[in-house]
Amino acid sequence: MKRLAIVVPCYNEQEVMENTAIRLTDLMADLIQKKKISADSYILFVDDGSTDGTWELMNEAFEKDPHVCALGLAGNSGQQNALMAGFAAVADNCDMAVSIDADLQDDIDVMEEMIDKYYEGADVIYGVRNDRKTDTFFKRFSAQMFYTLMKLLGAKTVSNHADYRLMSSDVLRQLMRYGERNLFVRGVVPLMGYQSRTVYYARKKRAAGKSKYSLSKMFSTAFEAITSFSIKPISLIVMTGAAITVCALAALVLLLGCSVCGRSISDGKYILTSVWLLGGMQLAAVGVVGEYAGRTYFETKRRPRYRIERILSRDQIPTDGEESSMQGKK
Ligand code: UDP
Ligand code: MG
């Protein structure tokens, strides 16, 4: 029997914490009883710098159930980094790990199916939402746009899959070798080329509380994902630039032709055409190049993604968290 770790990133989730802890510990007890996972399996809550009572509720859950442990990050590092903190802590302390959102919008009952597929030999099992009726039209529309754009730009992502996924410890250790700061886990996992399977479920409504993804957070995550996985925007700019140049040249030839035929063309027209087109082109191109250069600059700093401030553990995860939180861990 293999050891399972369930990793749950939580940011200001006091409304759902108690219920989530109960449902996950019940599920774990059930899986242990069915002999699907070993008795030392555990749930790791990662507090992503919550400012409400989330950490206190994690403490309560830790006191109540021996399968619960938790770690708290010093500030709000974002869901992807909170996940990475959790994965770093469990990578060497489990055989497989499932990541799931704290609001349990993803169906925890398909976890058993994920585990079955893991035993059948898959290293990655994606949870895919085949029904998003509970999401708002805007959320569905923006998500669809995002997946389509990612596909067009050549990044491999699994449509309608968020961060509900099972990964073997092998995958987790491999993931730790990705040293980049802006890691979009969802985009990296398919790139690693492990044998993968899929389980389907209907996405539920948030149990309580509000989405922690504001519009700006959603856009910045999408922008980060796109720019960190594709440099096609640069080629798009180059192509646009080339097209504009051709048009500008054509306009200039036209203007010259007209003046050869004896029609008077003011200098202003020439100057305006060239200045506007060239100015716009350069500004856009420089902007995009700057975006990538900026990212390179941040990557070269190799700052730690997060700092672990506190840990609750009964030997499930090491308590010298600071070291294991650093990237580059094998
Ligand atoms: N989350 C996090 N840090 C953040 C934002 C969100 O750890 O800065 C967690 C949040 O607590 C939840 C998960 O990421 O467990 C997904 O967030 P949410 O459910 O609000 O997103 P949505 O389902 O609306 O896309
Ligand atoms: Mg949610």
Q: Give mean pLDDT, residues 36-49.
A: 97
- Of 3.40.50.300, 3.40.1030.10, 3.40.50.720, 3.90.550.10, the CATH number of 4-229+303-312 is 3.90.550.10
137: number of Cβ within 10 Å: 7
Pocket test for ligand 1, best of 55, 79, 206 (most atoms within 8 A of CB): 79
What are the backbone dihedrals phi and psi of residue 273, each rounded to the nearest 5 degrees, phi first?
-55, -50
Task: For residues 282 and 300, give the distance between their C-alpha atoms in angstroms, rounded to a whole number.
Answer: 26
Task: For residues 64 and 272, give the distance between their C-alpha atoms in angstroms, rounded to a whole number.
Answer: 73
Residue 129: beta bridge partners? 201
CA of residue 244 to ligand 1 center, whole Å: 42
Of 320, 77, 325, 25, residue with least CA distance to 182: 77
Residues with a beta carbon under 5 angstroms from ion ligand 2: 101, 103, 105
Q: Which carries the bigger pLDDT value, residue 137 or residue 12?
A: 12
In the structure, which protein residues have their CB atom closer than 6 angstroms to any atom of ligand 1? 9-11, 13, 48, 76, 78-79, 82, 101-103, 105, 211-213
Would you report the helix, strand and coil content of the chain in percent, each value rounded to 5?
Answer: 50, 15, 35
**Strand ranges, E, within 48-189:** 68-73, 96-99, 124-131, 161-168
Is the confidence at residue 35, as pLDDT, over 90?
A: yes
CA of residue 102 to ligand 1 center, whole Å: 7
- Residue with CA nearest ligand 1 atom 19: 211
**Contact present, 265 and 259 (Cβ < 8 Å):** yes
Q: Please give the mean pLDDT across all residues of the chain.
A: 87
Task: For residues 293 and 316, give the distance between their C-alpha atoms in angstroms, rounded to a whole number.
Answer: 41
CA of residue 215 to ligand 1 center, whole Å: 13
pLDDT tens for each residue of 84-117: 999 999 999 999 999 999 999 999 999 999 999 9
Ligand nearest the Cα atom of residue 11: 1
Dihedral sign from CA coordinates of 268, 273, 275, 280: positive
Calculate what percentage of the chain has a pLDDT beyond 70. 95
Residue matched to tokens 């957070």: 217
Whole-model pTM over 0.75: yes
CA of residue 100 to ligand 1 center, whole Å: 10
Is the confidence at residue 322, as pLDDT, over 50?
A: no
Residue 73: beta bridge partners? 308
Identity of the residue numbered 148: T
First to last CA, the chain: 24
The residue extents of the domains of the chain are 4-229+303-312, 232-301
CA of residue 100 to ligand 2 center, whole Å: 10
Q: With bands split at pLDDT 50, 70 and 90, how would you rate the model's confidence at 75?
A: very high
- Residue with CA nearest ligand 1 atom 3: 79
Which segment of 144-158, 177-191, 288-302, 306-320 scores lowest on mean pLDDT? Answer: 288-302
What pLDDT, on a 0 to 100 scale, did the predictor assign at position 122?
A: 95
What pLDDT, on a 0 to 100 scale, did the predictor assign at position 321?
A: 52
Calculate what percentage of the chain has a pLDDT beyond 90. 45
Is the confidence at residue 57, as pLDDT, over 70?
A: yes
State both tokens at 205: 């409504």
Is the confidence at residue 43, as pLDDT, over 60?
A: yes
* Helix H or strand E encompassing 220: helix 215-229
CA of residue 210 to ligand 1 center, whole Å: 9
Q: Write the DSSP string, 120-133.
A: TT-SEEEEEEEE-T
Pocket test for ligand 1, best of 7, 101, 210, 215 (most atoms within 8 A of CB): 101
Pocket test for ligand 1, best of 57, 184, 213 (most atoms within 8 A of CB): 213
Pocket test for ligand 1, best of 103, 203, 224 (most atoms within 8 A of CB): 103
pLDDT tens for each residue of 250-292: 888 888 888 899 888 888 888 878 877 787 778 778 777 877 8
